[in-house]
Amino acid sequence: MTEYEFEGKTTEEAIQVASRELAIPEEDLSIDIIEPGSGGIFGLVGGKKAKIKVVIEAEEQDEYTEDGTDDGIQLAKDALENILARIPVEASVPPDWAQGKDPGCPSVYCK
């Protein structure tokens, strides 16, 4: 179980920020409102931001990752390959990266 806290001008905005940053649909979030926030005097002075806490169970986190891994290496490799596919140069990601090994210096092989 992992807990996160988010802030926004309103509770709705804080929920939207949480959904966007965690890449989880709003309806799937488990939300506790810590501070509902207030507009202050005439909406100008003394306002407080809304603060929420989002709790994510371990199973839910795995459900939203591409392949269920925590390290994100495959996700980063796929993203880099998608970027390289749009560049008019033939290139590939080193095989060491695909296996999660650090090749020392980040590089991309151009053909």
- DSSP for 51-93 reads EEEEEE-HHHHHHTSSSS-SS-HHHHHHHHHHHHHTSSS-EE-
Domain ranges within the chain, ordered by starting residue: 2-63, 73-110
The pLDDT assigned to 92 comes to 66
Q: What CA–CA distance (Å, rounded) separates 80 from 107?
A: 11
Q: What's the half-sphere exposure (Cβ side, CA atoms, 13 Å) at 1?
A: 5
Q: What CA–CA distance (Å, rounded) separates 29 from 92?
A: 37
pLDDT digits 0-9 by tens, 51-76: 999 998 765 544 545 445 555 677 77
Residue type, 28: D
pLDDT tens per residue, the chain (111 residues)?
789 999 998 899 999 999 999 888 888 889 999 998 887 777 677 788 999 999 987 655 445 454 455 556 777 777 887 887 787 777 666 666 555 565 555 555 555
The pLDDT assigned to 5 comes to 93
The pLDDT assigned to 54 comes to 94
In this structure, the dihedral spanned by the alpha carbons of residues 23, 74, 97 and 87, taken in order and rounded to 10 degrees, is -70
pTM for this model (two decimals): 0.50
